Chain A
Amino acid sequence: MNWISVFADPNTQWILFGSMLLGLSSGVIGCFAYLRKQSLMGDALSHAALPGVCLAYMVTGTKSIFFFLLGAILAGILATVSISYITRNTRIKQDSALGIILTVFFGVGIVLLTQIQHSHSGNQSGLDKFLFGHAASMIQQDVYTIAGISVVLVALCILFFKEFKLLSFDQGFAKGIGLPTILLDQFMMLLMVTAVVIGIQAVGVVLMAALLITPAVAARYWTEKLHVMVLVAGIFGAISGFVGTIASSMVNNLPTGPLIVLAATVLFIISVLFAPNRGIVAKAKLRGSVKSDFKTVAHQGVKEKSL
């Protein structure tokens, strides 16, 4: 394997850096989404971003990440508003509302995508990559943008840590002490949409949700404290981004997205098995020690009785 050449190439270094920052920021944001029981919202948002991205491309005719961001944010806001409108005003539950919005938006996106493929020729090749992601096709400017936005996202999460913490654990209390919960809610959604949009290019629409969910769930196994969880999820996300991108650049013809997701999944499985207190091994050990304790106690009890 040509490990050294992979690291020596400055272009690859940038891409690696970009996907690590991407993993970091989505891991951090995913923690709040997980605690607020909105994990699948990331899934819905990433699918809903597709028509926005396609429309942005159709209107501007360029593959500029800023216009994509704009289109996807508009589509994302429309999606979240529709989901909450449906759940509030009809008897349809949130999961079905999510599913409806996800599939219908994605259907619109696919229709637009085929329109683009049929009308413009040649220049649309990059758009296909949005479905599964292809980090290697990112140009340096994209990487700068991704890195910059990721840093801003993480900084905002640190800045609003207290508010987000309160919102995640006790929304009623947050409202009671005068926090603008609806505004914060929308703000957090905006952060999630942004993370999804910058992630789409590296991971793809379909698997972007995993980058938000999996590191956060894995981190939950290791700790009971929010700040530790956010830190661990960020690190897990960064490691997955690193490993996935390296693997994708070494083996030909492999899309980056699935590899990053698989790396995150391996970390998740390790967490499920070996995390202290919550992991399967730790639980089995605890059960074993309780059992042996009980045995000795029961044995003594029998002895005392027989005496």
Chain B
Amino acid sequence: MNHVWIILIGALVGSSCSMLGCFLVLRKMSMIGDAISHSVLPGIVIAFLISGSRDSLVMMFGAAAIGLVTVFLIQMFQNSGVQSDASIGVVFTALFAVGVVLISLYTRQVDLDLDCVLYGEIAYAPWDTLHVGGHSIGPKAVWGVGASFLLNVLVISLFFKQFKISTFDPALAAALGIPVVFFHYLLMGLVSISTVASFESVGAILVVGMIIVPAATAYLLTDKLSTMIVISVLLSIISSVLGYYIAFLLDASIGGTMVVVAGVLFLIALFFSPKGVRHHVKFSHGA
């Protein structure tokens, strides 16, 4: 049963991250996903210190707020003349450092491990079950990640048109009266919530892997946004299933192996897809 739970958690993390990842990759903001997934750390720790528990909704929204603060700070420094990638770098490293220092200072109060922060402990997730009225209703992680997955599906399908237009042509979207800035921050809020939900199972950097790699692979396979989202979700599910079994065979980090499998899938798409390397080279020779 534990195998099923772990694979389910991995697949849910992968699907909810890669769905958002498609928009980030298309908006050329992949590294903002990286930044948010690091910078929610102090938010999690502070919420943890205040509430004293790991499974509060407060924690999720606290972290989402920090995620939005990150985006806001990056934007602010960018507007004051700092290059965009440098301002991303300054903001997320500073916040992440605050988080690490807080964890180290309150090691006794905070039941968070520094290693866990980076590469997660999906292997232990099935034992941390949620009880309702004395009955176990499955691991907490499944509920947390599942909720964020449903939230992402709901928001994206409700506002698919708005997200699509403001991704491909923000000027047109603004002209049509779509609140572009609002959707920008909505997307970032979703990224923060998914990151926090996935945090314990796959860790900060591997969340980024699930955000960027399947989406970029799907980008090589199709021209249609809806198809791209479906493909990236499928790819992330494949990588979590395969990753789990390979990790099981090698006795290695599960989250790490999942991302490595996603990377291998990317490599295959890079060389063999119609929009991958071969086609591109041929095309540029013709043009």
Binding site for B on A (CB under 8 A): 34, 37-40, 42-43, 47, 86, 89-93, 95-100, 102-104, 106-111, 113-115, 118, 128, 131-132, 206-207, 209-210, 213-214, 216-217, 220, 253-255, 257-259, 261-262, 265, 268, 272, 278, 280
Q: Does B259 contact A (CB under 8 A)?
A: yes
Is the Cβ of B100 less than 8 Å from the Cβ of A132?
Answer: yes
Given A111-B257, A114-B253; A100-B94 close (CB under 8 Å): no
Is the Cβ of A104 less than 8 Å from the Cβ of B266?
Answer: yes
Q: A90-B276, A91-B220 are in contact. List 17 more A-B contacts (CB 8 A).
A: A91-B280, A92-B220, A99-B33, A100-B263, A104-B209, A106-B256, A107-B205, A108-B263, A110-B118, A115-B251, A118-B251, A206-B118, A214-B93, A214-B94, A257-B100, A261-B94, A268-B94
- Complex: A80 Cα to B104 Cα, angstroms: 33
- Complex: A255 Cα to B97 Cα, angstroms: 10
Is the Cβ of B257 less than 8 Å from the Cβ of A107?
Answer: yes
Q: Does B165 contact A (CB under 8 A)?
A: no
Min C-beta distance of B162 to chain A, whole Å: 23
Is the Cβ of A89 less than 8 Å from the Cβ of B34?
Answer: no
**Closest 9 A/B residue pairs (Cβ):** A104-B263, A103-B209, A107-B259, A210-B93, A110-B256, A258-B97, A99-B212, A213-B89, A261-B97
Is the Cβ of A39 less than 8 Å from the Cβ of B93?
Answer: no
- Complex: A278 Cα to B77 Cα, angstroms: 12
- Complex: A255 Cα to B88 Cα, angstroms: 23
- Complex: A168 Cα to B135 Cα, angstroms: 64
Residues of A within 8 A of B209 (CB): 103-104, 106-107
Interface-lining segment among B58-66, B79-87, B146-154, B186-194: B79-87
Given A106-B205, A115-B250; A265-B86 close (CB under 8 Å): no
Residues of A within 8 A of B101 (CB): 254, 258-259, 262
Q: Does B268 contact A (CB under 8 A)?
A: no
Given A89-B277, A92-B220, A111-B257; A210-B31 close (CB under 8 Å): no
Cross-chain contact of A40 among B85, B213, B277 (Cβ < 8 A): B85
Interface SS of chain B: helix, strand, loop or mixed? helix
- Complex: A97 Cα to B118 Cα, angstroms: 21
Residues of A within 8 A of B34 (CB): 43, 99, 102
Residues of A within 8 A of B219 (CB): 91-92, 96
Is the Cβ of A265 less than 8 Å from the Cβ of B280?
Answer: no
Cross-chain contact of A104 among B100, B259, B275, B280 (Cβ < 8 A): B259
When A and B form their complex, what is the total count of cross-chain residue pairs whose Cβ atoms lie within 8 Å?
Answer: 200
- Complex: A111 Cα to B230 Cα, angstroms: 28
Min C-beta distance of B181 to chain A, whole Å: 20
- Complex: A281 Cα to B186 Cα, angstroms: 32
Is the Cβ of B89 less than 8 Å from the Cβ of A214?
Answer: yes
Cross-chain contact of A103 among B107, B213, B250, B251 (Cβ < 8 A): B213
The CB with the most chain A CB atoms within 10 A, among B34, B89, B94, is that of B89
- Complex: A220 Cα to B82 Cα, angstroms: 9
- B208 to A, closest residue via Cβ: A103
Residues of A within 8 A of B211 (CB): 99
Residues of B within 8 A of A207 (CB): 93, 96-97, 100
Q: Give a binary string over B74-114; 1 marks a CB under 8 Å from any A CB, 0 the rest.
A: 00010011110111111001101110110011010000001
Is the Cβ of A114 less than 8 Å from the Cβ of B252?
Answer: yes
Is the Cβ of B90 less than 8 Å from the Cβ of A96?
Answer: no
Is the Cβ of B31 less than 8 Å from the Cβ of A98?
Answer: yes
Is the Cβ of A262 less than 8 Å from the Cβ of B97?
Answer: yes
Is the Cβ of B88 less than 8 Å from the Cβ of A111?
Answer: no
Q: Does B144 contact A (CB under 8 A)?
A: no
Min C-beta distance of B87 to chain A, whole Å: 8
Min C-beta distance of B98 to chain A, whole Å: 7
Q: Does B25 contact A (CB under 8 A)?
A: yes
Given A107-B257, A114-B256, A261-B93; A96-B212 close (CB under 8 Å): yes
Is the Cβ of A217 less than 8 Å from the Cβ of B216?
Answer: no
Residues of B within 8 A of A47 (CB): 205
The CB with the most chain A CB atoms within 10 A, among B86, B88, B266, is that of B86
- Complex: A86 Cα to B85 Cα, angstroms: 19
Residues of B within 8 A of A255 (CB): 100, 104, 114
Within 8 A of A (CB), among B252-286: 252-253, 255-260, 262-263, 266, 270, 275-277, 280-281
Within 8 A of A (CB), among B200-220: 205-206, 208-209, 211-213, 215-216, 219-220
